[in-house]
Amino acid sequence: MENLKKTELYKTWQELPPWAKGVVAIAGTGVAIFAGVKIYGALKGLNKDKGNRSESSGWNKELDKLNSNPATRSTLSKLQADTIANQMFGAMDGLGTDEETLYRSARQIKNDADWAAVNAAYGIREVSSGLFWEKPFRGTLSGALSNELSDDKLNPTYFLIPGFGPFLALYGITSADTEISTFNKILKKNGTKYQL
């Protein structure tokens, strides 16, 4: 039965006109390349997620360690850490970035344990780009922030936004700073050793 099937298939192949053989060969190669690319992408994604999970569990361990010492304990409740993580996610998810919300959230981080608590609360999430042709960013909070915040010099118009310019000045932030250095300055001023 198996042999018969093979023979039938071979016969059919032989009976095909040369152009049809070409079409079958090209289609077959296309399917093989497509499958290869898909498998490669899936493996790459798995590797990336391994890194994300490792960072995320690291933040949980760090939080436990810092919380076990009254001198380094987090100033935030679990609910506060969850809320800040959600606010940051909301500021990044979709088109554009709400920098003001990110800076306001950063101002609530008062020590390393707070930052660890917010990172642990954030875990691993998918931040939508808001553009159908651009893939969402899947990763940790530090990864998402680095992806969302710009490395270019701050837009001078920031300093014209009522209240926002003086707030930036309070942290020693000038128009020569970038969004990333602004975020880092806020964390540093509030006593956090971690930076983006």
Nearest-angstrom CA–CA distance, 112 and 67:
10
Site string for Ca ion, 73-112 (x = CB under 5 A): -------------------x--------------------
Compute the least distance from the CB of residue 153 to Ca ion, in Å.
20
Site for Ca ion in 28-57 (CB under 5 A): none
Compute the least distance from the CB of residue 144 to Ca ion, in Å.
9
Residue among 92 and 102 whose Cβ is closer to Ca ion: 92
DSSP code per residue over 28-60 = HHHHHHHHHHHHHHHHHHHHHHHHHHHHHHHHH
| 62: three-class secondary structure by DSSP | helix
Compute the least distance from the CB of residue 158 to Ca ion, in Å.
18
**Do 99 and 32 form a contact (C-beta atoms < 8 A)?**
no
**Do 46 and 85 form a contact (C-beta atoms < 8 A)?**
no
Residue among 92 and 168 whose Cβ is closer to Ca ion: 92
Residue among 73 and 100 whose Cβ is closer to Ca ion: 100
Residue among 92 and 121 whose Cβ is closer to Ca ion: 92
Give the angle 119-81-110 at the CA atoms, nearest 5°. Answer: 85
Q: What is the DSSP letter of 71?
A: T
Compute the least distance from the CB of residue 83 to Ca ion, in Å.
19
Chain residues that interact with Ca ion, rule: CB under 5 A:
92
